[in-house]
Amino acid sequence: MLYIKWLTSNKDEFNEFNSSFTLNSLLARPAQSKEYVENVVSLIENDVLLYWDDAIKELTKKFDLVDLDNFLVSKNEFEEAIKEVDDKLKKAIGISKNNIEKFHKRQKVKNLEPEETSPWVFCWREFRAIESVWLYIPWWTASLFSSVLMLWIPANLAWCKDIQICTPVNKEWKISPEILYTANILWINKVYKIGWAQAIFAMAYWTKQVSKVDKIFWPWNAFVTEAKLKVSKFCSIDMPAWPSEVLIIADEFSNPKFIAADLISQAEHWKDSQCVLLSTSTQKIKEVLFECKNQLIDFPRQEIAIKALENSFAIFVDTLEQAIIISNQYAPEHLILQVKDWNIYLNNIINAWSVFCWSYSPESVWDYSSWTNHTLPTNWFAKSYSWIWLESFWKRITFQEVTKNWLQTLKNTVEDMSLKEWLFGHKNAVSIRFKNFS
């Protein structure tokens, strides 16, 4: 196989490799030093546990250059934000809200009716909403107000009682008006002006100004993800995920302009994002590389996108089947099939979160308005985690009823097994019932 690194030079030369070691090295995600991230987040956690709200204020001042007295967004701030959002965007947000609701309403699952699994044994399952959830809405180089829709809508449909959001403030001491407008039309009145790792610790451990929640949603950067992993012993989290990524499989029929645009749309998330192209055509790879350079001229987020593309690569493969094997090994967050006969390969896709088929399915449509949810696992976690949906906001509870007749039938089975495991209380819980049968 052959590979080429993105934007590391002006040469279009391919490097040859045949070893699995080289492939594994390519497939590794770019990341900051794990030890550095862990140390920084541990220091933040210690500060919050020692000084609580005072620590959050100081950390916000340090990282966001903002001096906060009150963490909650005021009614006046909501009113001002609504005025700043133009009618065209308000309409777009409304359309996306309706689309996302349609898809998520179809995910409602009925409780299982009691079933007689054996004579005189009845079992069933019921769902209960997680009572209190916190939605972390990023705002750093971009205002991700679409994430308010993606997270609040399934939480609301799941009947969560308490839905709160937090989002960082900018250097002008303001929250994104688009985030506040979206929160307002969804009837969210509790919005906290805090972010980063300290926000995760605040919502997991709670302080005088921040109320504790039962589950935290939305991956962000490496520091937020590390904080989520730390608090997962005390508070449930949706998934560990970061950075963002896309893998595109292309054949000779694909459009290099479309592919380049899709790669850049993912690269602009942040510098440690990664973009991968697998193609059966070396000429197509060169055309895409040329298009990337061309489309990046005067691109507003050029610095971020170029840095991400320097962490990215393309591989020439002999067959599309070989591309699918590599894709499953990589387990991408987004998989784009720029392949003419894409439908014949779908059954072979094992590890990917969201798949986009052929030329007119850009990932950006899904990010905003194509119904499905854009909160999903990255960094190999697509092998074991799934996307956010209604059940992410539910707990499953099972119920059992065993009649006296059936307990008598199972008496010897349970007693023999519990004795073998040295769990004498388990045996006695059955035996005592027979000593006291009326």
Short-list 130, 97, 382, CA closest to 236: 130
Short-list 307, 327, 314, CA closest to 287: 314
What is the full per-residue pLDDT of the chain (438 aa) written as tens digits?
Answer: 788 877 555 666 788 887 787 888 888 887 667 889 999 999 999 999 999 999 999 999 998 888 888 899 999 999 999 999 999 999 999 999 999 898 888 888 778 788 877 777 788 889 999 999 999 998 766 788 998 999 999 999 999 999 999 998 877 778 899 999 999 999 998 999 999 899 999 989 989 999 889 999 976 678 888 999 899 888 888 877 667 889 999 999 999 999 999 999 999 988 888 999 999 999 999 999 999 999 999 999 999 999 999 989 999 999 999 999 999 999 888 899 999 999 999 999 999 878 999 899 888 876 776 556 666 556 656 566 666 778 889 988 889 888 888 888 889 999 999 999 999 999 999 999 888 765
Tokens standing for residue 104: 């998520």
Q: How far is CA 113 from the centre of its chain?
A: 32
Short-list 306, 301, 302, 304, CA closest to 289: 306
DSSP sequence for 141-200: SSB-THHHHHHHHHHHHTT-SEEEEE----TTS---HHHHHHHHHTT---EE---HHHHH
Task: Dump pLDDT digits (tens) for 251-298.
Answer: 999 999 999 999 999 999 888 889 999 999 999 999 999 999 999 999
The amino acid occupying position 4 is I
Domains of the chain: 34-240 (3.40.50.1980), 242-383 (3.40.50.1980), 404-435 (no CATH)
CB 286 within 8 Å of CB 12: yes
| Cα separation, 295 vs 293, whole angstroms | 6
CB 119 within 8 Å of CB 404: no
Residue 193: its pLDDT value, please? Answer: 92
Please report, for residues 7, 13, 70, 101, 219, the alpha-carbon distance to residue 315 in angstroms, rounded to integers and kept in the order given: 14, 12, 51, 39, 29
Cis, bond preceding 243 (omega within 30 deg of 0): yes
Task: Dump pLDDT digits (tens) for 355-413.
Answer: 999 899 888 876 776 556 666 556 656 566 666 778 889 988 889 888 888 888 889 99
CB 337 within 8 Å of CB 348: no
Choose, from 226, 334, 363, 374, the residue flagged as catalytic: 334
* Interaxial angle between packed helices 196-205 and 53-64, expressed in degrees from 0 to 180 and rounded to the nearest 10: 160
Choose, from 45, 226, 333, 363, the residue flagged as catalytic: 333
pTM above 0.95, yes or no: no
Tokens standing for residue 235: 């508070």
How far the first Cα of the chain sits from its last, in Å, is: 77
Tokens standing for residue 12: 């279009």
Helices (H), 213-297: 222-231, 256-267, 282-295
Q: Are strands 121-129 and 394-402 parallel, antiparallel or unpaired?
A: antiparallel
Residue 21: its pLDDT value, please? Answer: 78
334 as an active site residue: the answer is yes
CB 134 within 8 Å of CB 145: no
Tokens standing for residue 118: 């054996």
Residue 140: its pLDDT value, please? Answer: 66
Q: Are strands 162-166 and 132-136 parallel, antiparallel or unpaired?
A: parallel
104 as an active site residue: the answer is no
| Cα separation, 74 vs 79, whole angstroms | 9
Residue 32: its pLDDT value, please? Answer: 65
